[in-house]
């Protein structure tokens, strides 16, 4: 069987090794006579998987002991609500950096919970760039500053982060977590839907400073971080299969040389595609300005809608999947998350060169 050239934005490509390992135990996990999907989440066999996933993530990301790792459900979209419900007190204001659609959605949900303000925005320029972190001003009495580190739709990414803040820094890292070295101590909460770099859809990772986890009886039980932290994310039935696959992805990441090894390949993948775009004499045009370009989502347009359609049609026939740009931007988008092999990116780069030559 020939694997597709999978450039989907999410759910995205998973490492072949992960799929093969999961297949081995599909019918009989750890000699239990049951699939991982059939195990009780209270069983020792599943508990070992659950705790191993936490341990692997803590090791790969160098997560300090004063942070809690949670495995939740509801995707990043539920975190848009949980963050303000747990942190946004009546006398505080949540500040948001607007750099794309998902940042807008996070702000919209927070505004339903309490007072919010826009700290900085690149919306006026169609989100082609990331604002300078040094220019972000947040008052000391703010509840927090929220950023979206990678913007899948527009193909932009934060390469430097705000520093010297007197308030918690919250980051939605759904589409670039585990892709490049990161100092966790610079953040107070990091959350990420797994379906791009960490595993399949269904589980959301939350990394939160323990001091921010507080018991609040007024919160709905399932929307309190304290509920999940106090029960090792086992208050209710977790997405056991997704967490198992997450643990396999983390093992795969270790075997790639950890984050440093993965980052080196990611840099090479991004450089391969941007080189084609920059040397196409305007045939391909990148959406993001160069110093804000994403290493996870390469967005570009062609010279006309007709040519774009022809490109996408021929790419599909050649086995490339998921290259359509988001409807709000148009054009094309290649999502080159951790599990997308360098060889697939090189194949796309060659296809782009050939298409330009034959257009």
Please spell the DSSP secondary structure of 12-63, one letter per residue.
Answer: ----HHHHHHHHHTSS-GGGSSS-GGGS-TTSHHHHHHHHHHHHHHHHHHT-
Burial of 94 (0-12, 13-18, 19+ CB in 10 A): buried
pLDDT at 302: 97
Clarify whether 215 is annotated catalytic.
no
Clarify whether 132 is annotated catalytic.
no
Strand partners, 301: 285
Domain around 60:
16-255
pLDDT at 80: 98
Could you tell me if 211 and 81 lie in one domain? Answer: yes
Domain ends where: 208, 228, 255? Answer: 255
Q: Which member of 54, 102, 252, 295 is catalytic? A: 102
Could you tell me if 149 and 191 lie in one domain? Answer: yes
Separation CA 283–CA 107 (nearest Å): 36
Each residue of 129-144: pLDDT tens digit? 999 999 999 999 999 9
Q: Which member of 54, 158, 188, 196 is catalytic? A: 196
Could you tell me if 320 and 207 lie in one domain? Answer: no
Domain ends where: 215, 233, 255? Answer: 255
Confidence band, pLDDT 50/70/90 cuts, at residue 329: confident
Could you tell me if 316 and 242 lie in one domain? Answer: no
Q: Looking at the predicted structure, is the pLDDT value of residue 1 above 70?
A: no
Q: Is residue 8 part of a domain?
A: no
Across the chain, mean pLDDT equals: 97
Clarify whether 123 is annotated catalytic.
no
Q: Which member of 54, 158, 172, 188 is catalytic? A: 172
Report the predicted TM-score, pTM, of the whole model to 2 decimal places: 0.97
Each residue of 155-173: pLDDT tens digit? 999 999 999 999 999 999 9
Could you tell me if 109 and 233 lie in one domain? Answer: yes
């Amino acid at each position: 069987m020939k694997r597709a050239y999978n450039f989907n934005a999410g759910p995205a490509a998973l490492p072949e090794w992960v799929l093969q390992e999961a297949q081995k135990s599909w019918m009989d996990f750890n000699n239990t006579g049951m699939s991982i999907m059939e195990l009780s989440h209270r069983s020792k066999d599943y508990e070992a998987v659950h705790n191993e996933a936490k341990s692997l993530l803590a090791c790969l990301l160098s997560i300090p002991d004063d942070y809690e790792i949670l495995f939740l459900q509801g995707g990043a979209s539920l975190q848009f609500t949980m963050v303000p419900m747990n942190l946004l007190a009546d006398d505080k204001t949540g500040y948001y950096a607007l750099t794309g659609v998902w940042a807008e959605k996070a702000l919209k949900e927070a505004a339903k919970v309490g007072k919010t303000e826009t700290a900085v925005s690149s919306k006026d320029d169609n989100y082609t760039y990331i604002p300078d972190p040094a220019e972000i001003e947040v008052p000391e009495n703010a509840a927090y500053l929220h950023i979206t580190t990678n913007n899948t739709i527009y193909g932009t990414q934060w390469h430097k982060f705000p520093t010297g803040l007197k308030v918690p820094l919250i980051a939605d890292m759904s589409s670039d977590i585990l892709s490049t070295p990161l100092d966790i101590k610079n953040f107070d909460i990091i959350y990420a839907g797994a379906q791009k770099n960490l595993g399949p859809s269904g589980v959301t990772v939350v990394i939160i400073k323990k001091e921010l986890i507080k018991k609040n009886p007024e919160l709905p039980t399932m929307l309190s971080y304290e509920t999940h932290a106090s029960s090792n994310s086992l208050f209710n039935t977790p997405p056991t299969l997704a967490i198992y696959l997450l643990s396999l992805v983390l093992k795969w990441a270790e075997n790639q040389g950890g984050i440093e090894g993965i980052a080196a390949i990611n840099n090479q993948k991004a450089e391969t595609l941007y080189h084609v775009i920059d040397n196409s004499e305007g045939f391909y045009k990148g959406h993001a300005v160069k110093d804000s370009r994403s290493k996870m989502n390469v967005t570009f347009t062609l010279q006309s809608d007709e040519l774009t359609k022809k490109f996408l049609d021929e790419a599909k026939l050649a086995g490339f999947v998921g290259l359509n740009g988001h409807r709000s931007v148009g054009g094309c988008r290649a999502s080159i998350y951790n599990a997308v092999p360098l060889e697939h990116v090189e194949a796309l780069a060659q296809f782009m060169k050939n298409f330009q030559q034959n257009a």
